Chain A
Amino acid sequence: MSAELGIAAGVVDLVRRTAGADAEAEVLVTRSDLALTRFANSFIHQNVAETGVAVHLRLHVDGRTATGSGSRADADGLAALVERTRAAARLAPPDPAWPGLTAPTATPSGPAVDEATAFASPDERAERVRAFVDAVDGLEAAGYCRTAYRSGAFANSAGHTAAGSAAEAAMDGIARAGAADGVARLCADRLADLDGAALGAHAAAKARAAADPVELPPGHYEVVLEPAAVADLLQNLAWFGFNGKRYAERQSFAEPGTAQFDPLVTLVDDPLHAGTLPFDLEGTPRRALPLVEAGTTRAVAYDRRGGAAAGAGSTGHGMPGSATFGPIPHNIRLLADPGVADAGATVAAGPVSAGVTGAVGDPDTAALVAGMRRGLLVSDFWYTRVLDPKQLVVTGLTRNGVWLVEDGVPTRAVRDFRFTESYPRALGAGRVLGLGRAPVRLPGRVDGSWYEAPALRLSSWHFTGGASG
């Protein structure tokens, strides 16, 4: 039994002894070792590490529910957590919609944990920063290298237990050539798979290609979105569309069973694909959840409460705050259509022979760009916010490089744009002109959250103004 499972089981036992046999309790204990080395102006300016334990208790007693959490795992700390959560539950209102506890269920294994990543030294992170900074070759560099390890255990008073661990490494950096930035970003299971020099060289090439941008008029443009920009689409679709609570409240565009996207779009929330604990806050085993299959919306995410109300059951998306904000998929993959992947470059909308330049950066994107008569290549999106949640109309800006593409070739760097666009509409039937074949895993803002996508070619994106005025 792991130390975390021992703590979780101990809290369940403490609840049973103090609140009675009828009390229902679920406990998640997570130990974390997180470290992040941050650089700017080509030197390490922040360098942090933390070791922590979080104990999360949800208690349902006498028909009432309360949640408590704490950072202390010693006997006094756990006793205090149980006592204050019991006190809160006594004063809470009746909870007739309590969904009950997860029954004893087998928990899948997540990906193997790379110990070298889990407990990497600050020197190992600094080495990759050194390589990134050296590779930008005189440009200014900024970004981070992080490693994360979480060991978690769950126990509830219905006799269900689960345990698992996860590790992740990520690097995210820009190179700056005057006012032009180029970006390289990658999330991996192993720190060894992060090549600081390769990422730095990629960012530098893009920054140099972004120099001397011109202003273009606002309007609707065909676009190729690089994976970093596609990740923003996936994140907003997840928060506001595939969120089971928003769906139940008719605030989501999602309509399961309906063809809402282009047939090229297949989205799956796939937490076991990489560095995430194999169960959720409620102990529900995680599994792959097809959200969109060949353009047809298939599912939304649920925690136990939402899943019970919908008659669908939990999809393993219980999380802190899901009772309020709703359950949100955090591990979405945009898949290339299998037929497309097998067929070579045909649906990638152009021959790879267009070549790779600093602006394009990789053959996968080059294939999409090569098929575009006139449009824009977009590296990244920034500060996207929802104007209309139901139609998922989003405003935001481009960042880290935009280029005008003419007859399949990037011809000029372009100044950043502001856009206003409905994400489901932009991905609608007939609007997806091509998918790349090489997905890239992009790190979320916290470990365990990631989005994986290839580059994406869309027939239209509404740019509403230039960022410079």
Chain B
Amino acid sequence: MSEFDAATAAVQAALDAGARYADARVMHRRYESMSARNGDIEELSQDESIGLGVRALVGSGWGFHAVPDLSDAAARDAGRRAAAIATASARVPGPPIDLVPAEAAVASWASECAVDPLGVPLSDKGDLLVRATATMREHGADLAEGLYQIWDTTKWFVSSEGHRIDQHIRECGGGISATSIGDGETQRRSYPSYRGQYGTTGWELVTSLDLAAHAARIAEESRELLTAPQCPAGETDLILGGEQLALQIHESVGHAIELDRILGWEAAFAGTSWLDLARLGSLRYGSELMNVTIDPTIPGALGSFGYDDEGSPAVARDAVREGRWVGVLAGRDSAAVAGLDYGGSVRADGWARLPMVRMTNVGLEPGPHTLDEIIAATDDGVLMDINRSWSIDDKRLNFQFGCEVGWEVKKGRRGRMLRNPTYTGIGPAFWRSMDMLSSETVAWGTPNCGKGQPGQVGHTGHPAAPARFRGVRVGVRA
């Protein structure tokens, strides 16, 4: 029985059991990760998982059931169970559920991949991590860590509206970090990012990072941080590197524009959003430099795909244009509730998980400057780079982020390294204070976005470049 046959059987069984809409997704994923520490391989792990998840709409109640079995009997049973669960949902009913119209797509899609990451010999991949972590140890790191991860996912999607889509998505990435342990504190430097850089692409991404070439530098910087002066406390101009700005976008824009949060569907757990749908199109989110797009079509970025997990094709659209809020991340049902005419941002992290609104590639369009020009134009401020900690309230307004490293900026020059840099603020006020933006954009990948119950891990991408923000509170301490 083919994967499409199993999905079709599940959908038909759900319809036969009373569903007015059903879809099913078979998903086969191979995952490989390797970590190294202090010049030795620490863990090598491989996972292979295949199963089917079917979603049924009975009246206005949803039900979802998943099984690791693609036999006809198992698929049909899953469809019937999904319909029964949907029927139980009607015991606590809500408003009528509709789906925004979608053209039934029959299609195949595959991500770009020059070098199959699972095809690269394990010994080569191991050598890469061993060499980089050994170099960090030689240059003074107490803990030298390296990691890569690979996801190779094939999906087969069928809906009762006639969708029949298969996709092959290959994602990978990695990075290194050096930790130095002092008297009562630890300091860490990472390259190229906290947890590394990831993309929907092949092993060529990891090769291009040239991890070993940066190992000595970050080890030495981690030691230097132990004796660097504390980041001063107060209000100052803040320049953020692109990697940290990517996380700022993720937390204070990406999650805030998720329509399920705006509608209250995540209220008890992930939280809601400060955004009010009545002000979509008019609300001032940030300065006129702020142009944020939702774009799952960016080649190689970690939030890219051909079709989302409801069968909607990848389409680029605006989220914030010249500082004004104009778009949301939506699914077909949430869009219908909100009176919008598009979905396209619904994904699940496995066959056993319900598709839900997720970020794709949510990124900031570049500005006219370079980082050097921004520094040169700053009389008194702090430059921070590479995320270390992140926390934001349940409405996505009040945030506090910590970075691995900071530098003084005085009279247009980068000065002393600063340790334990943090900054805090309120989303819209912070974004309104952005007055300089660089053109040096990188699409940073976030492979660990948590959301949903049962929990799901999402893969998102965030094009971002360094930027300057005026009058930000920095250096908060216990």
Contact = CB atoms under 8 A, between A and B. Distances in A.
Q: Do A and B come from one complex?
A: yes
Interface of A: 34, 36-53, 65-72, 80-81, 84-85, 88, 91-93, 95, 121-123, 125-127, 129-130, 133, 140, 142-144, 146, 172-174, 176, 181, 249-251, 323-324, 382-391, 393, 395-397, 399, 416, 418, 420-422, 425, 445-446, 462, 464-469
A422 B478 contact: yes
Contact of A88 (B50, B122, B354, B424): B122
Given A49-B81, A397-B391, 9 more contacts: A41-B263, A43-B94, A45-B62, A66-B46, A67-B45, A68-B45, A72-B48, A391-B185, A395-B402
Interface string B452-476: 0111000000000000000001001
Interface of B: 35, 40-51, 53, 61-68, 81, 84-86, 88-89, 91-95, 121-123, 126, 130, 142-143, 147, 179, 181, 184-186, 263-269, 271, 352-354, 356, 388-394, 397-398, 400, 402, 420, 422, 424, 426, 429, 453-455, 473, 476-478
Contact of B88 (A92, A123, A469): A123
24 contacts: A38-B453, A44-B89, A49-B81, A50-B53, A50-B352, A52-B67, A70-B48, A72-B50, A92-B122, A93-B40, A121-B88, A126-B92, A140-B264, A142-B264, A144-B269, A251-B186, A323-B35, A385-B402, A391-B185, A395-B391, A397-B394, A418-B398, A445-B453, A469-B426
Nearest to A469: B426
B185 A324 contact: no
The 3 closest A-B pairs by CB, nearest first: A43-B94, A122-B88, A142-B268
Given A46-B64, A47-B62, A68 B42 contact: no
Given A47-B88, A388-B185, A467-B398, A67 B265 contact: no
A464 B391 CA distance: 13
Contacts of A85: 46
B455 A445 contact: yes
B185 A383 contact: no
A67 B354 CA distance: 28
Nearest to A65: B44
Contacts of A88: 44, 46, 122
B186 A382 contact: no
A464 B422 CA distance: 13
B30 to A, nearest CB: 9
A144 B35 CA distance: 36
Contact of A49 (B64, B265, B424): B64
A71 B51 contact: yes
Contacts of B143: 249, 251
Contacts of B398: 397, 416, 418, 465-469
A343 to B, nearest CB: 34
Contact of B478 (A37, A68, A393, A399): A393
A52 B51 contact: yes
Contacts of B356: 46
Given A36-B453, A41-B264, A389 B64 contact: no
B65 A91 contact: no
Given A40-B268, A126-B91, A383-B392, A390 B64 contact: no
B336 to A, nearest CB: 13
A235 B151 CA distance: 29
Nearest to B60: A43
B186 A81 contact: no
Contacts of A67: 43-46
